[in-house]
Homo-oligomer: A and B are copies of this chain.
């Protein structure tokens, strides 16, 4: 007789290892029957045809599902991970929003059934004030520099940076956050014990120590292209907003961006050169009807994330010139004096659009503070009066 896992968490873990996330039929079955009974029905073959065909091969070669579930639990524990499910205190409830946007065209855009988590932090708490920074793997130096800077400054301001662990922008964002001691979150498309790409291993080790590695796939699962796309919805749903830093026209980052927009998250992008193929995707984003916001620094990201109630980004520092200290009438007269010319007061007043008497008084004052020189009734700019 087939031994079935008795613990719902183990049952969900098992189901997550044999059916890809976002399978509406499996999700419905779990909702209806509970995970334990769902496993039973999968192994009995009393599930809809399509689901039976998908699970058939695994069922045929797995005679002891309870044992397979135990193996998964051991593999999870062995890499220092845990398996979170909806309803756990540290389950991030914002993932539920995915339920609002999944439709027939994109059935896989559904909340995850569970998440493997590696790291000490409370996932829900860590993502309460979080922002995704995503972008191209083939990023330019400029893009990586921006990602690093933004992540560092957002971390400093108390925001958790979430990204996907890839080369390029993702890596720069994670490293920028880590550099400020930030508990960054990496959402993976492979098992949490061997994050992809391997070349980022030392970064992933740091993230596991100081932040969190997340995956919908069990230990042992390898990163596959469609899994990256599936994963992107989690990055978008976990966070209050997504910043796309660089993206080519075809790019996973744009996919994450679309999810963010559809979920009502704040969608932001950093601009770049019109001539850069790595910026083509973000510039295209700006022209799509998603109200993507152009951001250039962390204060602007925070302003956009926190909305009307939040802090306003201070205006960028403006150069203050000597002429800014003059009154409007004074400035008009000074500006109306062509450099190197000597001009009659009446003509100057007319050119500046200032009444003649006002001009006389104002020019006297300007002379006193060293802006203009008087020669009979004619005036010229002082040599010192640069503006």
Residues of chain A whose beta carbon lies under 8 Å from any beta carbon of chain B = 18-20, 23, 50, 53-58, 60-61, 142, 146, 221-222, 224-226, 249-250, 270-275, 279-280, 283-284, 286-287, 293-297, 300, 316, 318-319, 332, 335-336, 338, 345-347, 349-358
Contacts and interface: CB of A to CB of B under 8 A. Distances in A.
Closest 6 CB pairs of A and B: A57-B346, A271-B271, A53-B355, A225-B335, A286-B294, A20-B353
B56 A356 contact: yes
Contacts of A146: 274
Contact of A271 (B283, B335, B345): B283
A275 B142 contact: yes
Given A249-B316, A250-B319, A287-B293, 14 more contacts: A19-B353, A23-B353, A53-B357, A55-B350, A57-B347, A57-B350, A58-B350, A61-B346, A225-B335, A271-B272, A271-B273, A274-B296, A284-B316, A287-B295
Nearest to A56: B356
Nearest to A221: B351
Contacts of A349: 54, 57
A273 B296 CA distance: 9
A244 to B, nearest CB: 13
Contact of A60 (B270, B273, B346, B354): B346
B19 A226 contact: no
Contacts of A250: 318-319
A351 B191 CA distance: 13
A267 B276 CA distance: 23
25 contacts: A20-B350, A53-B357, A53-B358, A54-B350, A54-B355, A54-B356, A56-B355, A56-B356, A57-B350, A142-B275, A221-B351, A222-B338, A224-B351, A226-B336, A270-B274, A271-B273, A271-B279, A271-B286, A272-B274, A274-B296, A283-B296, A287-B293, A287-B294, A287-B295, A294-B294
A113 B323 CA distance: 30
A352 B57 contact: no
A285 to B, nearest CB: 9
Contacts of A357: 53
Nearest to A295: B287
B57 A336 contact: no
Given A224-B351, A349-B57, A294 B283 contact: yes
Contacts of A286: 271, 294
Contacts of A274: 146, 270-272, 296-297
A300 B353 CA distance: 41
B350 A280 contact: no
Contacts of A284: 316
A355 B250 CA distance: 28
Nearest to A146: B274
A293 B57 CA distance: 53
Given A274-B146, A294-B271, A318 B353 contact: no
A172 B143 CA distance: 28
A58 B55 CA distance: 95
A324 to B, nearest CB: 9
A279 B300 CA distance: 16
B50 A352 contact: no
A336 B338 CA distance: 72
Most buried by B among A50, A146, A275, A356: A356
Contacts of A224: 335-336, 338, 351-352
Contacts of A283: 271, 294, 296
Most buried by B among A221, A338, A352, A355: A355
Contacts of A316: 249, 280, 284
A50 B279 contact: no
